[in-house]
Amino acid sequence: MRGKEKKIFCIEATVLLIALTTVPIVCSGEDPLPYWLEGTILDGNTRVLIIMNGNMTEGIDPNEYDVIISFDEALAIESDARAEYIEIYGVDPLANINPVTYNEVTWPTGNIAQEQNASPPEQEPDYIPSSYPSPHTINGKLILFVTLPINKWKPSSPIYCGMMSVLGFDAFHEYNGVYELSTFIDMSHWDADDVGFGWDLGGLLDDLAEDMRNWVNEPSEQNRIYVGWVSIENARWGLANLGDHFSVVNALAMYEIPPLGTIVTHEISHNFHADDHDWWWPLPMCVMHYLWVALHYKGWCSDCHNVIQSCIVGT
Ligand SMILES: [Zn+2]
Ligand SMILES: [Zn+2]
């Protein structure tokens, strides 16, 4: 197309685009409600690290963050923002979340989650092999980064994802040579806006690994594990790299009581080379079988335990 024609075409296209994008908003007469954490330091515009547990002496570079806050401080920010939002808009932004309790704190409080439609556990393998070296302890320590996308695909409550992740990650205390499990929430280093399709979590997992890969390249950082939390309706529960540092968990995993903590245990087990169990009989009591994930069981059979044990301490 030549210059002038092209210009006219562009103007027409622009007018059409403006019409298409503005008309529905004008017709509806209502603006969508803002994100409930907008205006707080948890809205994605500040480089925040939240310490769920553990200490800051190793592995973390404070220069990578604008603010480092505790679990209690983050919980207070969410509590205040939620109360204010309910007062202004009359809507509880966390109404659809089943409460979870961690360290004697229940979050969210004072609400009853709407019953979600139960869907059967997945039967497809939820991992993708990787050629990178797997994570392992350093001085008996593993670090979990609960990683939230800055903008698109973001789950409603960072603290909720952090609590669920700790509950799932704590199961790895049973391994010999694992002395300390530290968990942090990183809300500012994963940009997933460029991922167009989320249902199978594959694009999101690739994107997480791409954005965070340079954090695990050094031998001194091989004890880091990244669980990316996203919020996608009717999507699969989780997806992990087999023998690598990354997995993605869906905060909207559809089940009557979403076994989110157990999904975290399952996906991180894939990072330590544990495979899925076949769906059909026999059914060993093991978190690597989807039935036991659905039943919130976080233990392993002896086969999976042995695979993880040798991988987790780097032998
Ligand atoms: Zn699996
Ligand atoms: Zn097993």
**Nearest ligand for residue 201 CA:** 1
How far away, in angstroms, is 77 Cα from ligand 1 center? Answer: 34
**Secondary structure of residue 239 in the 3-state scheme:** strand
In angstroms, what is the span from residue 122 Cα to ligand 2's centroid?
16
With residue 241 as reference, give the H or E element that holds it. strand 238-242
Domain boundaries, the chain: 48-312
Q: Torsion angle, CA of 186/47/152/262, rounded to 10 degrees?
A: 10
Counting runs of H as helices and runs of E as strands, what totals does the chain give? Answer: 7, 10
Ligand positioned closest to the Cα atom of 306: 2
Q: Is 200 exposed, middle or buried (0-12, 13-18, 19+ CB in 10 A)?
A: middle
**What confidence score (pLDDT) does residue 262 get?**
93
In the reported structure, the alpha carbon of residue 126 is separated from the centroid of ligand 1 by a whole-number distance in angstroms of: 4
Residue type, 236: R
Residue 220 scores a pLDDT above 70:
yes
| CA pair distance 63, 21, nearest whole angstrom | 41
| 8 CA → ligand 2 middle, Å | 64
Cα 301 to middle of ligand 1, angstroms? 14
Per-residue confidence band for 116, with pLDDT thresholds at 50, 70 and 90? low
Q: Which two tokens stand for residue 85?
A: 């939002």
CA nearest neighbour of 65 among 268, 252, 245, 215: 215
162 vs 64, more confident = 162
CA distance 252 to 246: 19
- As a CATH number, domain 48-312 is 3.40.390.10
- Each residue of 23-57: pLDDT tens digit? 333 334 567 899 999 999 999 899 999 999 877 76
Instruction: Give residue 276 CA to ligand 1 midpoint distance, Å.
Output: 5
What length is written for the chain? 315
pTM attached to this predicted model: 0.85
Q: Which two tokens stand for residue 291?
A: 């039935």
Of residues 260 and 308, the one with the higher pLDDT is: 308
The encoded tokens of residue 162 equal: 């952090």
Instruction: Quickly state the pLDDT bin for 253 (edges 50, 70, 90).
Output: confident
* Location of structure tokens 């973001």: 154
Q: Is the pLDDT of residue 121 over 80?
A: no
Quickly tell me which residue has 């079988």 as its tokens.
289
Take residue 72 and report the two structure tokens written for it.
């209690």
User: Closest ligand to 237 CA?
Assistant: 1
- Shortest-distance ligand to the CA of residue 293: 1
What confidence tens digit (pLDDT) does each residue in 194-209 have?
Answer: 998 887 899 999 999 9
Closest ligand by atom to 121 CA: 1
Cβ–Cβ under 8 Å, residues 249 and 238? yes
Check residue 138 and report its DSSP letter.
Answer: B
